[in-house]
Chains A and B, each alone.
Chain A
């Protein structure tokens, strides 16, 4: 009996490990009906320095470990992505930063912090009638970095 419990525990551990080992990008990268973008931290750090744009993410760049975008406009695929988004919403390690509801879409921002100041993940979930998108920024950044991203190159 004890052995049976032990085996069940290990099977559970294996399934949890296999799930956690797979990132969103890995899961959706080769799936039909999804558009994915994955940019690693190394790629961010190799960006041309001379580029000037309206978006100011230079202060964030050093801290970015990965940048993932998953989007779909197919009804069937939406359900799968929505299920993952729902899991994320229920995950208590994420805190809701803001919700923006307008006529055409619903946008939610979630944060995952490792301590009071350091943000480990910034997630944007956009759900409109046409498509569903998830943007995930992983790394180490602060609220000041996010404010700079909002303010842009003024």
Chain B
């Protein structure tokens, strides 16, 4: 491998584009004693970087650990989702109850409105005020007569009470 090729590989290495094979070729070149003096700095930099790269060991069970971690994350995600589902379900139950109650209230109001619309009040028995007057007069005369009778009865009772009181009073005097 000539120097030009080495320099191209080195550029690729610095750019992070070099393959393992190319890096090994570079390592081989810089490990030899034929390194030109103008590349001693590059040698130092490459060897320090390359040795640290080599030191990093990938654990053998990394793949399975990662896969376990992914499964765990997925499971916790599911748990979170089920918790969310429970929360939504509870709220749906709550909302459903209250929506039924609200529907009952609305039905109640509608029913009441229908009732009120239907019962627009009793109908007038008379359309002629004169006729109505005569009927009212007749009935109120009956009311008045009965009230009079009742009051007369009350007056009579009061008179009797007075009589009893006076008799009792006389008796007291006799005693």
Tell whether, in the assembled complex, residue B133 and residue A107 are in contact, meaning their CB atoms are under 8 Å apart. Answer: no
Chain A min CB distance to B56 (Å): 65
B150 interface residue (CB < 8 Å to A): yes
B94-123 contacts to A (CB < 8 Å):
97, 100-101, 104-105, 108, 111-112, 115-116, 119, 121-123
Interface segment among A40-48, A72-80, A85-93: the answer is A40-48
Cβ contact of B104, chosen from A7, A17, A22, cutoff 8 A: A7
The number of chain B residues touching the other chain, given as a range, is 35 or more
Structural contact, B115 and A43, CB atoms closer than 8 A = no
A103 interface residue (CB < 8 Å to B) = no
B75 within 8 A of A: no
* B8 lies within 8 A of chain A by Cβ: no
- Residues in A neighbouring B140, C-beta threshold 8 A: 55, 57, 149
Number of residue pairs across A and B with beta carbons under 8 Å? Answer: 119
Give the chain A neighbours of B35 by CB distance below 8 A.
none
Inter-subunit contact B112/A17 (CB<8 Å): yes
A29-B125 Cα distance, complex, nearest whole Å: 9
Residues of A23-67 contacting chain B, CB below 8 A: 23, 25-26, 29, 36-40, 43-44, 46-48, 51, 53-55, 57, 66-67
Interface size on A, residues (CB 8 A): 50
Could you say which residues of chain B place their CB within 8 Å of the CB of A17?
108, 112, 115
- Among B124, B125, B137, B151, point to the contact of A150 (Cβ < 8 A): B151
Chain A's nearest CB lies how many Å from the CB of B158?
13
Find B129's partner among A7, A21, A46, A68 (CB 8 Å cutoff). A46
CA distance A12 to B47 in the complex (A): 93
Task: Let me know if B137 and A53 touch, CB within 8 A.
Answer: yes
Q: How far is B144's CA from A18's CA once the two chains are assembled, in angstroms?
A: 33
Contact in complex: A68, B147 (CB < 8 Å): no
Chain B residues with CB under 8 Å of A22's CB are 119
User: Which of chain A's residues have a CB closer than 8 A to the CB of B121?
Assistant: 23, 26, 40
Taking CB atoms and an 8 Å cut-off, the chain A residues in 114-154 that contact chain B are 122, 124, 126, 135, 137, 146, 149-150, 152
Give A residues with C-beta under 8 Å from B.
2-3, 6-7, 10, 13-14, 17-18, 21-23, 25-26, 29, 36-40, 43-44, 46-48, 51, 53-55, 57, 66-69, 97-100, 102, 107, 109, 122, 124, 126, 135, 137, 146, 149-150, 152
Given contacts A48-B129, A98-B151, A149-B147, list 7 more A-B pairs with CB under 8 A. Answer: A14-B112, A17-B112, A43-B124, A100-B149, A100-B153, A135-B139, A149-B143
